[in-house]
Amino acid sequence: MKRVHYIILGVILITIVVVFTIKQIAYSDSEIVDSVDNSSSIEEQIDEKQDRVEQVEIVDGSTYGNLMASAGIDPNVYMDLYNSAVDVYDLAKVRVGRVLNLTFDKDTDELKQLMYQIDLENELFVNLSSSVASPEGREGGITATTTETKWVAEIVPIEYDIEVVTEKGVVESSMYQAALDSGIDERAIVELANAFQWSLDFSMEVQTGDTFVFTYEKLYRDGQYVAPGKIIAGKFVNKGVPLYVFYFEEDDDNKGFFDQDGNSVQKMFLKAPVAYKYISSGFTTGRRYVAAFNVSTKHRAIDYAAAYGTPVRAVGNGSVTFSGWAGPYGNKVSIRHNGTYSTNYAHMSKTAVKKGQRVNQGDVIGYVGSTGFSTGPHVHYEMVKNGIKINPLKEVLPPGKSIKDENKDRFFKEINKYKEVLDK
């Protein structure tokens, strides 16, 4: 009996395997048949022939010329294209990591379009446009026409689909880490830190238990998430005190971040000479600085520890009064902001500005180093008010323009819907 059972089971199994295999063969057959069917309509195929698109990756050390040559394009063609486009965009400035998208005509296989994404906002298109030239001469009554081609360049803004989202987190080691833990795009968190950069010194004031919530745009293209867009509103609760930022455009001259009362949060000076994204990764709240401002030890400056080579930025607009070697200070830059304030930045690996140069808030003026009397890479940052070194963290700094009274209704109407979401 048992043997019979095994035989029956065996027969069933073999049948299943055979049927399955036949089905597979039939399926692959039908695939082959299908594709034969398709290619049999050759005339239709020609009509549907597509332009060839080639993507040339811009790698380290490559130039516009050798990239185009690598795609098999004649130097006369790519130089003509370059010269026609240069007033709109200089293709010599193409950046590593981006791509040259080249489209070749389906009939002639000649290059007919170059597309290059310049940044998140814009794309460059250079198209070969042909026009029939007006007849120059007549030969025996026959009109001779020639087709003229030329490259036409234009920059086209990228249109994104925008999703508005609200995200939040609790600081344990840093806002950066908290945001990463919440799955927030780190580019969004850097933007949020930028919006708060006049109100909070992220390397010193932020502490465990602080919370943040913010509303911002997420940009999508063809259904794919690309990047964070604008920060619309944010709330950061620092040591129990809520700080707000709302993006608002009062007019062309006054747009940016304001608090809940319509006062600009953007100040004459940044809170720190090192951008958030360079002090954010891996730092622990309150333990990032080497030494703070201390009158008794005569260390009348703030030291910001940061990796060697980190950009150092001007905290405010002004003119460079010193740039170079300053003994114990190593490589130093001094900026005069107005008749009252100036700032000094010391121990840099190198300076990036010249004496007499005008700088704007946030401009890179040098790079973190450990030159002069210094034990490790950091920037020694001093603020001088009327000739006396003061603590920049304690100084109440002059703010930007507030919303005018006549625009307050519009402002409150706009921000209150976001404030409700942040306060939920």
Binding interface with Zn ion (CB under 5 A) = 301, 303, 380
CB of 246 to Zn ion, least distance (A): 36
User: Given the complex with Zn ion, which of 189 and 333 has the nearer CB atom?
Assistant: 333
CB of 391 to Zn ion, least distance (A): 13
The closest of 372, 362, 215 to 275, measured between CA atoms, is: 362
CB of 300 to Zn ion, least distance (A): 9
The closest of 213, 316, 324 to 272, measured between CA atoms, is: 316
The closest of 314, 312, 309, 288 to 177, measured between CA atoms, is: 288
CB of 380 to Zn ion, least distance (A): 3
User: Given the complex with Zn ion, which of 219 and 302 has the nearer CB atom?
Assistant: 302
Q: Can you tell me whether residue 54 is helix, strand or coil? A: strand
Whole-number CA gyration radius for the chain: 32
User: Given the complex with Zn ion, which of 59 and 295 has the nearer CB atom?
Assistant: 295
Place of tokens 């030239």: 133
Write a three-state SS string for 328-364.
HHCEEEEEECCCCEEEEEEEECEECCCCCCEECCCCE
User: Given the complex with Zn ion, which of 201 and 303 has the nearer CB atom?
Assistant: 303
- CA 174, CA 171: separation in Å to the nearest integer? 5
Give the contacts of 355 (CB within 8 A, at least 6 positions apart). Answer: 320, 321, 322, 323, 324
CB of 373 to Zn ion, least distance (A): 9
User: Given the complex with Zn ion, which of 254 and 370 has the nearer CB atom?
Assistant: 370
Q: Which residue is nearest to Zn ion (CB)?
A: 380
The closest of 141, 233, 293, 168 to 419, measured between CA atoms, is: 233
Burial of 175 (0-12, 13-18, 19+ CB in 10 A): buried
CB of 302 to Zn ion, least distance (A): 8
User: Given the complex with Zn ion, which of 158 and 290 has the nearer CB atom?
Assistant: 290
CB of 173 to Zn ion, least distance (A): 24
User: Given the complex with Zn ion, which of 91 and 302 has the nearer CB atom?
Assistant: 302
Instruction: Answer yes or no: are the C-beta atoms of 378 and 371 closer than 8 Å.
Output: no
